Structure 1
Amino acid sequence: MPHISINGQACTLAEGSSLLQALRDNGCQPPHPCHDDRLKPIGACRLCLVEVEGQARPVPSCATAVTEGMVVHTATARLQSLLHTNLSLLADGYPAKAVHEQAEHPFHQLLVKHEVNAGSNHQSPIFKDDSHPYLGIDMDRCIHCQRCVRICDEVQGQFVWKVWGKGEQTHIAPADGKSLLSSGCVSCGACVDTCPTGAIFDKRSTGPVDQWTKTTCVYCGVGCQMEVGSHDNKVVAIRPTDSPVNHGHLCVKGRYAYDFTHAPDRITHPMLRRGSDWHAVSWEEALSFTASRLQELRNKYEADSLGVLSSARATNEENYLAQKFARVVLGTNNVDCCARVCHQPSAKALKTMLGTGAATNSFSDIEHTSLFMLCGCNPTENHPIVGARIKQAVRAGAGLIVIDPRRTELAACADIHLALRPGTNVLLFNAMAATLLEEGLQDDDYIAMRVDGLAGFSSFITAYAPEQVASQCGVTSGDIRRAARMYALAKPAMCFHGLGMTEHLQGTQGVMSLINLALLTGNLGKRGSGINPLRGQNNVQGSAQMGCEPASLTGAQNLADAKVRASFEQAWGTNLPTSAGLDLPAMLAAASSGKFKAMWVMGYDIAMSMPNASQTLAALAQLELVIVQDLFLNETAKAVGHVFFPAASVFEKDGSFMNADRRVQRVRQVVNSPGEAKPDWQIITELARHMGHEQGFKFDAPQAIWNEIRSVWPAGAGLSYQRLQNESLQWPCPATLDDNHPGTAILHQQGFGAGPKASLACIDYQPTAEVCDDDYPLLLTTGRELYHFNAGTMTYRSPNAVLKPTDTLDISPADARLLGLAQGQSARISSRYGTAVLPVNITDKMQVGQLFCSFHRADLNVNALTSPYCDNLVHAPEYKVTAVKVKGLTAE
């Protein structure tokens, strides 16, 4: 630890400190408009100059490393003169009007503080742009700090901004020389964050902010931390804050797509459907009616005719109460959540083979791996902050293997892109495993200590040599072998996977075959390694972990375990139901056959998001009671709802979420709910009271619910609200006497759930029954894209709808020519199950014979196309493989 002197004061500093950081830590605040702690220092503005004894000239503190024995001076006459001169040069061409009208910008405050006048030589700007819905550009305020250029390059990795011209014509503008909209900008807002002058500005955050509240993003499962600005009980701005997850960065959804909170079509009063019309009623009438109908149906058809679907957008506390309500109040294990259609195959595979159904490593490991293997995921679009971190790690030298049918952004910069045929994941990973063993690339030491079943697996896997299966996979045997070698030889190697792995007939088994590779190469239990599913929704990990699935209780504890059951019965003061519960697909099947009668659906638009939409709607129509709890009158409510409970949004309640790398993170109320909307936890407790179960549901705040969760979940017992207030903790985090367990960043360092060793799994390939033929010759895959989220409920109520107005049918140029399709033309897509009409997008990202579309617009009804086939172990739908035909439509 170096020792230096600052203005005569002795200081001891951390190793690797910059001089600027040392000055700030010791009470000095030199101006530094060209510096951002997220960026490499360049010392361009010369305003943070200090004198160091022994140095002939002043040095920029931002770009100077601390060395032992430094003697530093910050306030000499020479430095004051230099500061005034350099600041005056920057101000000479700067608009004085901006300084007076927007005093909040750091550069403006600097001018005022040092009494430097702006504008003596102000000229018209070289570049202005008003094309973007969120970002405005007014380069007459540019001081050439290049922070926008550098943050786009070094943090987001998009390379949108460029320095143009020379001398007096030097200016910053989009790299394509046109507009921000045409430049490849992904609207993350990082350039706005870093700009010290307002040359790049947030067009909507121009008014006052009364308060900034730290909370957690409501979109994907990355769990970005942010501060939400409010004014007059309205959300008016969002900015990133630093955390181990997002390092002061946000994506377009998290930063800008918050308009849903104050959308004019928010439902703010309870409603009952009478005939074909909805009518606003009081909470008392809505709750009394619902309680009476549930009791009536339970008495008539028994408890297992009823079910509850909780929400990945709800908090941990609310999901916990949802499953407790199902089991204690209704008396059934019929409870599920949207993890069923995305997360469950990963959880099942990881728990079966390793003992814990969650990511093995942390996002913090991204900067510590030698190689990424991305399997069926597109993080730069679906998990943009993780995607940006991966891009930067690859730029810094990490290897990259991308396994995806499409040429995604990361596939374009990969060392190897295996563009496999959808549905052949098991074949491909078995072929990679066969290569490892055939070529002696396995980690024998790790296998000897940590792995069982090698002999039997070795015999089994020989049938899957790359040369035997490559043609079925749609890739070359040579590329399979190259990928296997690269993964085995890089130490450590980190796998991320997504819904392209799980939403298949063999979704669970595909993840298991991926785990085989990690076991064979020793890429588990170490920093920078592991098997890490990228969760799609903000709290899909938490909803399942809280027990919102038929066979598990809170903490993913097995309901069939007698000790687990007994502990919950003691905590809840009642016997738990003994019949096996139904998951969501089973509920719908039972509804179709008349055996299932009522469903309470919280924050989950199943009519739009479940596959084979016509079959789903037909099943829902058989129900005698459908209770919808949401912000808006969604497609489920419109089609089949009987009761509507208006829920609070994420900005209107307290609680916690659980992100994809097992962090429990606080959610904090920013504004009040509109009208009579209430947080989900309050609605659940009030309905429980109306059904005679006030005891066990009497909570005054989410913290009290969380404390009950901790009491029944030993692995989370150390995660108190007090600690979560300032710490980013990952479970397992058991209680300790001194309440300081650090959490668990890396799982399986010493052993696995069932013991010191994990067993390899021999998994035979099973092709899906959904195949192309002469009638349906093209293969359609569905998924998400950057600007929208799931059912579009939130993002299509924001200007993101300007950035991406519609879902499109992505098709290769060759297929477009064959079918006579033009860019933007409407086309009818037909499958064996239904039809949809989408505009055509011709792109070289698609392989011949394959199509892709997202599913975010309700009116386009893409899930009318998808099949009834599902994962053969956990029933996750096979969204990724649908045989279709396409016909272009002519304009009327």
Structure 2
Amino acid sequence: LGLHSPQRLSRPLMRKGDQWHEASWPEALAAAAEGLQAVLKEYGPAQLGALLAPTLTIEELYLAQKLMRSLGSDNVDHRLRQWDFTADASLPLHPGLASIAALEKVPAFVLIGSNLRKDQPLLNTRLRRAVIKGGAVGYAINAYEYDFNYPLRGVMVRDPAGMVAELAGIAVALFDGAAVPAQWTARLASVAATPGQKELAATLRKHPGAVLLLGDQAMASPYYGALRALAGLIAGQTGATVGELSAGGNGVGAWLAGAVPHRRAGGGHPHQSGLNARAMLEQHLQAYVVAGCEPEFDCADGAAALVALDAAQCVVVLSSFVTDAMRGYADIILPLATFTETGGSYVNVEGRWQSFEGALKPLGEARPGWKILRVLANLLDLPGFEQDDVAAVRAELQTSVDASEFSPGAGEATEVAWPALASGLTRVGDVSCYRADALVRRAGALQQRADNPAAAAYINDAEAARLGLAAGDRVRASQGEVVLELVVARDGRVADGTVRIPAALEATQAFGPAYGPLSLERI
């Protein structure tokens, strides 16, 4: 079990020069507070940032963002694997679904950037019943041909830009010569629907009440905003609904807790938006609070994460595990209790709060995240951190959520990032469900699963022939200045024009963006 990994952290660690040593909690927390205060005094709050795992409890997420904002910084985010944030202004209170049970009754559905069977298996079971028992018609639009345990009428496997083109073609087919809304004219003027797109459009028109589900890979796409906007346009023309399945076990809770740079707890808008996860790393802040995640595995660009953290003056990490990479960039590492060892709450895709109590005693001196953050805030002399238990934290947040009168900000759907004409290869760096977070990455049995992809350059036969590559060849894969040597593997499920190099693996943790331009050179 991952809980018993030899990398479990049971006592606080502190760096002195190049040496690490165990410390008492008072010593480690005092050092963390001192380090953050030093950066705050010298550089100001704009140089503080927090990278938070979407697997933390909502109470931990709430106190983490409250601490950062009490210090004057809105640089806080849980969307670590997201690359495109151009849709932020027009997003709803949180991603999700109106009803989980209703999936069993949908007449039709389209999976967009989703390996639903692995990433959300319980939701996949609902759709399977809709297909097997209710005769629902299903389609998938992905950058890789995933396996599903029910028949699909159509499967479109395209590169990330091609996925946008598929949805654009479906939208054009729905208008069928009628006037396109003015804001979409420029985007759709040169789009001609293919027979397959026309057939899918006709199916959606025939089956009002269909659902379009955007999954993990859609949110990680460099064109997430475009995919989401087009899905909304299609839904508006067909009576369908759009559902979004956030990554991590508590992505919805993170939105409600205010663990995003442009929203307060409960959905309120801050006076000025902070930096998103990508921008925090690209701008090389002077101090980071990293909680519940391993940025080299969990961020959209592992290489950029390592560079930014290594260059920072102060990095405080709350983690259940400790690794050599973490020892390389952290200054203080505080042992974080796992979800089995603490009380807290998660919020599901319907927005339903689900609270629980810890089932195990924390290992060694590990502590629940909410306690660590509360005491750290006390040492920083911040007001509003007097909670005695996790229920008090939850009640405070619930009050903010109940009092919120949320309304999306202004933002035109077509202002989002849009694919430009380009040639060359694109990396598809999806994350296996067995590598999705720090705990499952340490579950030995899961790592031995046959469907857990290896670190390789997967290409289809057509691309292999075009590039003159054979299975077993060694290649240099390059993303800008970041180079990785890999073995070629032939895989007919990979989209044309793409190379599948899975992310969140030890061998690929320091590679570049999970989705982006790539070049291959045979060694």
TM-score of the superposed pair, with normalisation by structure 1: 0.54
Query: Partner residue of 1:842?
Result: 490
Q: CA deviation at 1:342?
A: 6.7
SS in 2 for 1:662: coil
Q: 1:712 to 1:766 in 2, by over 3 A?
A: closer
The correspondence for 1:395, drawn from 132, 136, 141, is 132
Q: CA deviation at 1:411?
A: 10
The question of 1:885 aligning with 2:523 is answered no
Task: Indicate the residue corresponding to 1:479 in structure 2.
Answer: 196
Change (3 A) 1:455 1:598: closer
Q: Quick check: 1:653 aligned with 2:395?
A: no
Contact 1:466 1:480 in 2 (8 A): no
TM-superposed CA distance for 1:636, in Å, is: 5.2
Larger Rg: 1
Is it true that 1:466 corresponds to 2:207 in the alignment? no
CA distance in 2, matches of 1:518, 1:272: 53
CA-to-partner distance for each residue in 1:573-594, whole Å, 9 max, x for gaps? Answer: xxxxxx6523233333332xxx
Residue 377 of structure 1 is aligned with which of 107, 114, 128? 114
2:419 aligns with 767
Q: Partners in 1 of 2:162 and 2:49 — Cα distance?
A: 35
1:230-284 deviation line (CA, Å, top 9, x unaligned): xxxxxxxxxxxxxxxxxxxxxxxxxxxxx11122221110010112221001001
Tell whether 2:281 aligns with 1:584: no
Equivalent residue, structure 1, for 2:182:
456
Write the deviation string for residues 670-721 of structure 1: whole angstroms up to 9, x where unpaired. 111111000100100111122223x5212222111111111111179xxxxx
Separation of aligned partners in 2, 1:768 and 1:635? 39
Amino acid at match of 1:514: A
Change over 3 Å in CA distance of 1:455–1:283 after alignment to 2: closer
- Alignment partners' CA distance in 2, 1:387 and 1:829: 34
Residues 760 and 290 of structure 1: CA distance in aligned 2, closer, same or farther (over 3 Å): closer
Distance, in Å, in 1 between the alignment partners of 2:456 and 2:121 is 20
Give how far 1:763 is off: 6.2
Aligned: 1:864 with 2:516: no
Q: Secondary structure at the match of 1:374?
A: strand
Q: CA deviation at 1:825?
A: 6.2
SS at match of 1:648: coil
Q: Which residue of 1 aligns with 2:317?
A: 628
Q: Report 1:526-675 matches (<5 A).
A: 530-560=241-271, 580-591=273-284, 596-634=285-323, 637-675=326-364
Q: Following the alignment from structure 1 to structure 2, what is the Cα–Cα distance between the partners of residues 286 and 424?
A: 50
Give the whole-Å Cα distance in 2 for the aligned partners of 1:343 and 1:772.
20
Aligned mate of 1:500, from 193, 201, 217: 217
Aligned: 1:801 with 2:447:
yes
- Residues 837, 265 of structure 1: alpha-carbon distance in 2 compared, 3 angstrom cutoff: same
**Pair 1:833 & 2:481 matched:** yes
Give the secondary structure class of the aligned counterpart of 1:304: helix
Distance 1:795 1:683 in 2: 24
- Contact 2:11 2:366 (8 Å CA) reproduced: yes
2:400 equivalent among 712, 717, 723 = 712
**Among the aligned pairs, what percent are the same residue?**
23
Per the alignment, do residues 324 and 293 of structure 1 end up closer, same or farther by CA in structure 2, a change over 3 Å counting?
same
Query: Structure 1: which 5+ runs fail to align?
Result: 1-258, 441-452, 468-476, 524-529, 561-578, 717-731, 733-751, 867-878
User: In 2, Cα distance between the equivalents of 1:805 and 1:416?
Assistant: 25
CA contact (8 A) 2:144 2:494 kept: yes
Aligned length: 520
Query: Would you say 1:313 and 2:30 are equivalent positions?
Result: no
Q: Within 2, Cα distance between the matches of 1:533 and 1:850?
A: 25
- Contact kept, 8 Å, 1:505 with 1:768, in 2: the verdict is no
Q: Describe the shift of the 1:317–1:344 C-alpha distance in structure 2 as closer, same or farther (beyond 3 A).
A: farther
Cα distance between partner residues in 2 of 1:294 and 1:664: 33
State the distance in 2 between where 1:706 and 1:624 align: 33
Look up the SS of the partner of 1:331 in the other structure.
coil
Are 2:444 and 1:790 equivalent residues in the alignment? no
The Cα offsets for residues 176-220 of structure 1, whole Å up to 9 and x where unpaired, read as: xxxxxxxxxxxxxxxxxxxxxxxxxxxxxxxxxxxxxxxxxxxxx
- In 2, the alpha carbon distance for the partners of 1:460 and 1:303 equals 41
How big is the shift at 1:828? Answer: 3.8
Task: Verify the 8 A CA contact 1:334 1:581 in the aligned structure 2.
Answer: yes
1:359: how far off? Answer: 2.4
Using the TM superposition, give the Cα deviation of residue 666 of structure 1 relative to its aligned residue in structure 2, in angstroms.
Answer: 1.9
**Alpha-carbon distance in 2 for matches of 1:688, 1:458:** 48
What aligned pairs does 1:720-799 form with structure 2 within 5 A after superposition? 761-762=413-414, 766-768=418-420, 771-773=422-424, 778-786=425-433, 788-790=434-436, 794-799=440-445
1:283-432 alignment, distance < 5 Å = 283-328=25-70, 330-338=71-79, 341=82, 349-351=90-92, 356-396=93-133, 397-410=135-148, 413-432=151-170
* Distance of 2:504 and 2:73 partners within structure 1: 33
Cα distance in structure 2, aligned partners of 1:836 and 1:542: 36
Supply the distance in 1 between the matched residues of 2:184 and 2:300 (Cα, whole angstroms).
Answer: 38
**Equivalences for residues 41-52 of structure 1 within 5 A:** none
Contact 1:781 1:851 in 2 (8 A): yes
Once residues 282 and 360 of structure 1 are traced to their aligned partners in structure 2, the CA distance between those partners, rounded to angstroms, is 45
Q: Does 1:677 align with 2:324?
A: no
Q: Deviations for 1:796-843, whole angstroms, at most 9, x for unmatched residues?
A: 432112223733432223444566666566554233232223444322
Q: Return the letter of the residue paired with 1:408.
A: Y
CA distance in structure 2 between the partners assigned to 1:839 and 1:796 by the alignment: 24
* More displaced 10-residue stretch of structure 1: 630-639 or 644-653: 630-639
Q: Secondary structure at the match of 2:392?
A: helix
Q: Which residue of 1 aligns with 2:175?
A: 437
Moved more, 287-296 or 831-840: 831-840
Q: Is the 1:309–1:335 Cα contact (8 Å) retained in structure 2?
A: yes
Deviation at 1:669, TM superposition (A): 0.8
Q: Quick check: 1:809–1:851 contact (8 Å CA) kept in 2?
A: yes
Question: Closer, same or farther in 2 for the Cα pair 1:645/1:764, shift >3 Å?
Answer: closer
**Cα 1:759–1:492, aligned 2, differ >3 Å: closer, same or farther?**
farther
Secondary structure of the structure 1 residue equivalent to 2:435 = coil
Whether the 8 Å CA contact 1:349–1:511 is kept in 2: the answer is no
Corresponding residue for residue 224 of structure 1? none
Shift of the 665–346 alpha-carbon distance from structure 1 to 2, 3 Å rule, reads farther
Whichever residue aligns with residue 8 of structure 2, its letter is R
SS at match of 2:189: helix
Q: How far did 1:320 drift?
A: 0.5
Query: How many Å apart are 1:367 and its aligned residue?
Result: 0.8
Give, as a single letter, the amino acid of the residue that structure 1 aligns with 2:494: M
Q: Secondary structure at the match of 2:293?
A: coil
Structure 2 SS opposite 1:312: coil
Residues 261, 348 of structure 1: CA spacing in aligned structure 2 closer, same or farther, 3 A cutoff?
Answer: farther
Give the counterpart letter for 1:508 in structure 2. G
Deviation of the 1:335 alpha carbon: 1.9
